[in-house]
Amino acid sequence: MSLWDKYNVKKDYIYRTIALLFLIITWILLSSGELDGSIPHSKIFFKSLNLDNYFTSLNNGDKVSQFTDVQTIINKDSNYMKFGRATWKTFHVMMEMFPDVNMNNNDDLKKRDKLVDWINLIGETYPCSKDSNNIFLQSVQRYPLPINLNKIINIEWGCHIHNLVNERLEKVKYNCSQLILDLKQTEQDYNQDIEYNDLDKVTLNKEDKQLG
Ligand SMILES: *[C@@H]1O[C@H](CO)[C@@H](O)[C@H](O)[C@H]1NC(C)=O
Protein backbone atom coordinates (compact mmCIF):
# COMPACT_ATOMS: atom_id res chain seq x y z
CA MET A 1 0.00 0.00 0.00
CA SER A 2 1.42 3.27 -1.05
CA LEU A 3 1.58 6.20 1.28
CA TRP A 4 -1.15 7.80 -0.78
CA ASP A 5 -3.49 4.79 -0.29
CA LYS A 6 -2.81 4.79 3.43
CA TYR A 7 -3.68 8.46 3.56
CA ASN A 8 -6.95 7.80 1.69
CA VAL A 9 -7.96 4.97 4.03
CA LYS A 10 -7.41 7.28 6.99
CA LYS A 11 -9.38 10.01 5.27
CA ASP A 12 -12.31 7.64 4.67
CA TYR A 13 -12.23 6.62 8.27
CA ILE A 14 -12.35 10.23 9.41
CA TYR A 15 -15.19 11.05 7.02
CA ARG A 16 -17.17 8.04 8.19
CA THR A 17 -16.63 8.96 11.81
CA ILE A 18 -17.77 12.54 11.17
CA ALA A 19 -20.85 11.28 9.32
CA LEU A 20 -21.68 8.90 12.15
CA LEU A 21 -21.25 11.64 14.76
CA PHE A 22 -23.47 13.91 12.70
CA LEU A 23 -26.16 11.24 12.59
CA ILE A 24 -25.93 10.58 16.31
CA ILE A 25 -26.11 14.27 17.22
CA THR A 26 -29.03 14.87 14.86
CA TRP A 27 -30.87 11.89 16.32
CA ILE A 28 -30.32 13.12 19.89
CA LEU A 29 -31.47 16.62 19.04
CA LEU A 30 -34.59 15.49 17.22
CA SER A 31 -35.61 12.79 19.64
CA SER A 32 -35.55 15.06 22.70
CA GLY A 33 -38.46 17.09 21.35
CA GLU A 34 -40.72 15.99 24.17
CA LEU A 35 -38.46 17.66 26.71
CA ASP A 36 -38.81 21.09 25.21
CA GLY A 37 -41.75 21.89 27.42
CA SER A 38 -43.96 23.00 24.61
CA ILE A 39 -47.44 22.25 25.80
CA PRO A 40 -50.36 23.13 23.62
CA HIS A 41 -52.45 25.79 25.30
CA SER A 42 -55.68 24.10 24.41
CA LYS A 43 -54.90 20.94 26.31
CA ILE A 44 -54.81 20.51 30.04
CA PHE A 45 -51.89 18.56 31.39
CA PHE A 46 -51.79 17.03 34.81
CA LYS A 47 -48.27 17.25 35.95
CA SER A 48 -49.19 18.05 39.48
CA LEU A 49 -46.06 18.61 41.50
CA ASN A 50 -47.75 17.21 44.58
CA LEU A 51 -47.68 20.63 46.11
CA ASP A 52 -48.88 19.20 49.41
CA ASN A 53 -45.26 18.36 50.06
CA TYR A 54 -44.11 21.77 48.88
CA PHE A 55 -46.14 23.58 51.48
CA THR A 56 -45.90 23.17 55.18
CA SER A 57 -47.72 25.28 57.66
CA LEU A 58 -46.29 28.74 58.21
CA ASN A 59 -47.32 28.45 61.82
CA ASN A 60 -45.14 25.44 62.52
CA GLY A 61 -42.25 26.74 64.54
CA ASP A 62 -42.94 30.30 63.48
CA LYS A 63 -43.73 33.03 65.91
CA VAL A 64 -46.87 34.56 64.54
CA SER A 65 -47.58 37.93 66.04
CA GLN A 66 -51.07 38.82 67.14
CA PHE A 67 -53.25 41.23 65.24
CA THR A 68 -53.15 44.78 66.54
CA ASP A 69 -56.39 46.32 67.81
CA VAL A 70 -56.69 48.42 64.67
CA GLN A 71 -56.32 45.36 62.46
CA THR A 72 -58.87 43.42 64.46
CA ILE A 73 -61.38 46.24 63.94
CA ILE A 74 -60.56 46.49 60.22
CA ASN A 75 -60.79 42.73 59.77
CA LYS A 76 -64.35 42.81 61.06
CA ASP A 77 -65.36 45.72 58.84
CA SER A 78 -67.78 44.36 56.25
CA ASN A 79 -66.47 46.61 53.48
CA TYR A 80 -62.98 45.44 54.17
CA MET A 81 -64.18 41.84 54.09
CA LYS A 82 -65.81 42.43 50.71
CA PHE A 83 -62.56 43.90 49.46
CA GLY A 84 -60.72 40.84 50.72
CA ARG A 85 -63.09 38.47 48.94
CA ALA A 86 -62.88 40.42 45.70
CA THR A 87 -59.09 40.31 45.91
CA TRP A 88 -59.07 36.56 46.48
CA LYS A 89 -61.44 36.07 43.60
CA THR A 90 -59.19 38.13 41.32
CA PHE A 91 -56.20 36.14 42.53
CA HIS A 92 -57.83 32.76 41.85
CA VAL A 93 -59.24 33.72 38.49
CA MET A 94 -55.81 35.02 37.48
CA MET A 95 -54.21 31.73 38.50
CA GLU A 96 -56.80 29.80 36.51
CA MET A 97 -56.78 31.84 33.37
CA PHE A 98 -53.05 32.36 33.06
CA PRO A 99 -51.87 30.48 29.97
CA ASP A 100 -49.51 27.52 30.12
CA VAL A 101 -45.85 28.45 29.92
CA ASN A 102 -43.71 27.20 27.09
CA MET A 103 -40.27 26.99 28.68
CA ASN A 104 -38.63 27.66 25.30
CA ASN A 105 -40.53 30.83 24.68
CA ASN A 106 -38.95 33.94 26.16
CA ASP A 107 -42.17 35.92 25.88
CA ASP A 108 -43.97 33.23 27.89
CA LEU A 109 -41.27 33.26 30.53
CA LYS A 110 -41.35 37.06 30.76
CA LYS A 111 -45.12 36.98 31.14
CA ARG A 112 -44.79 34.41 33.85
CA ASP A 113 -42.30 36.67 35.67
CA LYS A 114 -44.87 39.47 35.43
CA LEU A 115 -47.45 37.21 37.04
CA VAL A 116 -45.05 36.62 39.93
CA ASP A 117 -44.43 40.40 40.19
CA TRP A 118 -48.18 41.01 40.20
CA ILE A 119 -48.71 38.51 43.01
CA ASN A 120 -45.95 40.09 45.07
CA LEU A 121 -47.34 43.57 44.42
CA ILE A 122 -50.74 42.50 45.74
CA GLY A 123 -49.00 41.49 48.94
CA GLU A 124 -46.92 44.65 49.12
CA THR A 125 -49.65 47.16 48.33
CA TYR A 126 -52.63 45.59 50.05
CA PRO A 127 -53.98 47.89 52.78
CA CYS A 128 -52.41 47.22 56.18
CA SER A 129 -49.70 45.20 54.53
CA LYS A 130 -46.76 46.91 56.20
CA ASP A 131 -46.64 44.68 59.20
CA SER A 132 -45.49 41.34 60.37
CA ASN A 133 -48.99 39.94 59.94
CA ASN A 134 -48.84 40.06 56.17
CA ILE A 135 -49.26 36.34 55.92
CA PHE A 136 -50.07 36.48 52.18
CA LEU A 137 -46.77 38.13 51.33
CA GLN A 138 -44.89 35.83 53.69
CA SER A 139 -46.52 32.81 52.08
CA VAL A 140 -45.84 33.76 48.47
CA GLN A 141 -42.24 34.61 49.29
CA ARG A 142 -41.63 31.48 51.29
CA TYR A 143 -43.31 29.21 48.75
CA PRO A 144 -42.69 30.90 45.41
CA LEU A 145 -44.85 29.93 42.47
CA PRO A 146 -43.13 26.91 40.90
CA ILE A 147 -41.94 27.40 37.33
CA ASN A 148 -45.31 26.63 35.92
CA LEU A 149 -45.85 24.49 32.89
CA ASN A 150 -49.58 24.39 33.20
CA LYS A 151 -52.57 25.89 34.88
CA ILE A 152 -53.09 22.96 37.24
CA ILE A 153 -49.91 23.91 39.07
CA ASN A 154 -51.03 27.54 39.21
CA ILE A 155 -54.45 26.60 40.53
CA GLU A 156 -53.10 24.17 43.09
CA TRP A 157 -50.51 26.68 44.27
CA GLY A 158 -53.15 29.40 44.61
CA CYS A 159 -55.30 27.00 46.63
CA HIS A 160 -52.42 26.30 49.03
CA ILE A 161 -51.54 29.99 49.41
CA HIS A 162 -55.15 30.76 50.29
CA ASN A 163 -55.11 27.94 52.82
CA LEU A 164 -51.99 29.30 54.50
CA VAL A 165 -53.75 32.63 54.97
CA ASN A 166 -56.98 30.98 56.09
CA GLU A 167 -55.07 28.88 58.56
CA ARG A 168 -53.60 32.04 60.10
CA LEU A 169 -57.06 33.59 60.28
CA GLU A 170 -58.41 30.34 61.73
CA LYS A 171 -60.76 29.92 58.82
CA VAL A 172 -61.75 26.73 57.03
CA LYS A 173 -59.08 25.21 54.81
CA TYR A 174 -59.94 23.82 51.41
CA ASN A 175 -58.85 20.32 50.41
CA CYS A 176 -56.52 21.11 47.50
CA SER A 177 -56.06 17.39 46.67
CA GLN A 178 -59.80 17.12 46.19
CA LEU A 179 -59.68 20.21 44.00
CA ILE A 180 -57.13 18.53 41.74
CA LEU A 181 -59.20 15.32 41.62
CA ASP A 182 -62.14 17.43 40.55
CA LEU A 183 -59.99 18.98 37.85
CA LYS A 184 -58.90 15.56 36.64
CA GLN A 185 -62.52 14.52 36.45
CA THR A 186 -63.11 17.65 34.44
CA GLU A 187 -60.29 16.67 32.12
CA GLN A 188 -61.90 13.28 31.57
CA ASP A 189 -65.14 15.04 30.79
CA TYR A 190 -63.18 17.32 28.52
CA ASN A 191 -61.75 14.33 26.70
CA GLN A 192 -65.30 13.19 26.19
CA ASP A 193 -65.93 16.35 24.25
CA ILE A 194 -67.25 18.55 26.98
CA GLU A 195 -66.58 22.19 26.30
CA TYR A 196 -63.16 23.39 27.39
CA ASN A 197 -64.74 26.45 28.97
CA ASP A 198 -66.50 24.21 31.46
CA LEU A 199 -63.18 23.89 33.26
CA ASP A 200 -63.38 27.49 34.31
CA LYS A 201 -66.91 27.11 35.58
CA VAL A 202 -66.10 24.00 37.55
CA THR A 203 -62.94 25.25 39.20
CA LEU A 204 -64.32 28.69 39.92
CA ASN A 205 -67.27 27.12 41.66
CA LYS A 206 -65.04 24.84 43.67
CA GLU A 207 -62.72 27.61 44.71
CA ASP A 208 -65.65 29.80 45.63
CA LYS A 209 -66.06 27.66 48.72
CA GLN A 210 -62.67 28.81 49.90
CA LEU A 211 -63.35 32.52 49.63
CA GLY A 212 -63.69 34.65 52.70
C1 LIG B 1 -58.67 15.45 50.71
O2 LIG B 1 -59.14 14.83 49.54
C3 LIG B 1 -58.46 13.62 49.24
C4 LIG B 1 -59.00 13.15 47.90
O5 LIG B 1 -60.38 13.05 47.90
C6 LIG B 1 -58.71 12.60 50.35
O7 LIG B 1 -58.03 11.41 50.05
C8 LIG B 1 -58.21 13.19 51.65
O9 LIG B 1 -58.53 12.31 52.70
C10 LIG B 1 -58.84 14.54 51.91
N11 LIG B 1 -58.20 15.13 53.07
C12 LIG B 1 -58.90 15.64 54.07
C13 LIG B 1 -58.12 16.21 55.18
O14 LIG B 1 -60.12 15.62 54.08
Whichever domain contains 147, its CATH number is 1.20.120.310
Query: Is 59 contained in some domain?
Result: no
Query: Is 178 contained in some domain?
Result: yes
Are 171 and 84 within 8 A, CB to CB? no
Please, which contacts does 172-177 make with residues 24 or more away whose CB atoms are closer than 8 Å? 172/210, 174/207, 174/209, 174/210, 176/51, 176/52, 177/52
Residue (of 187, 143, 181, 186) closest to 163 by Cα position? 143
The CA distance from 156 to 152, in Å, is: 6
Alpha carbon 26 to its chain centroid, in Å, reads 33
Q: How far is the CA of 11 from the centre of ligand 1 (A)?
A: 68
What is residue 198's predicted lDDT score, i.e. its pLDDT? 45
**Window from 13-22, 30-39, 162-171 with minimum mean pLDDT:** 30-39
**Window from 9-13, 53-57, 145-149 with minimum mean pLDDT:** 53-57
Alpha carbon 199 to its chain centroid, in Å, reads 17
What is the mean pLDDT of the segment spanning 174-183?
81
| Count of domains forming the chain | 1
What is residue 29's predicted lDDT score, i.e. its pLDDT? 60
Are 36 and 104 within 8 A, CB to CB? yes
The CA distance from 196 to 46, in Å, is: 15
Q: Which tens digit of pLDDT belongs to each residue from 128-138?
A: 666 677 889 99
pLDDT higher than 90, residue 119? yes
Query: Is 62 contained in some domain?
Result: no
Query: Is 171 contained in some domain?
Result: yes
Q: Residue whose CA is closest, atom 2 of ligand 1?
A: 178
Q: Which of 55, 156, 174, 177 for a ligand 1 pocket mutation test, highest count of atoms within 8 Å of Cβ?
A: 177
Q: Which of 55, 175, 183, 210 for a ligand 1 pocket mutation test, highest count of atoms within 8 Å of Cβ?
A: 175
Query: Is 74 contained in some domain?
Result: no
Query: Is 116 contained in some domain?
Result: yes
- Residue 142 burial (CB count, 10 A): 13
Please, which contacts does 79-86 make with residues 24 or more away whose CB atoms are closer than 8 Å? 80/127, 81/212, 83/127, 84/212, 85/211, 85/212
Q: Which of 52, 159, 173, 178 for a ligand 1 pocket mutation test, highest count of atoms within 8 Å of Cβ?
A: 178
Who has greater pLDDT, 3 or 11? 11
Query: Is 17 contained in some domain?
Result: no
* pLDDT band at residue 152 using 50, 70 and 90 as cut-offs: confident
- Residue 194 burial (CB count, 10 A): 14
What is the mean pLDDT of the segment spanning 118-146?
85
Query: Is 66 contained in some domain?
Result: no
Q: Which tens digit of pLDDT belongs to each residue from 51-88?
A: 766 776 555 545 555 666 666 777 677 888 888 889 99
What is the mean pLDDT of the segment spanning 163-186?
82
pLDDT higher than 80, residue 99? yes
Domain that holds residue 99: 79-210
Q: Which atom of ligand 1 is nearest to the CA of 175?
A: 1
Pocket of ligand 1 (CB under 6 A): 175, 177-178, 181
Handedness of CA 105, 111, 115, 118 (dihedral sign): positive
What is residue 134's predicted lDDT score, i.e. its pLDDT? 86
What is residue 31's predicted lDDT score, i.e. its pLDDT? 55
* pLDDT band at residue 36 using 50, 70 and 90 as cut-offs: very low
What is residue 111's predicted lDDT score, i.e. its pLDDT? 92
pLDDT higher than 70, residue 172? yes
Q: H/E element holding 161?
A: helix 151-168
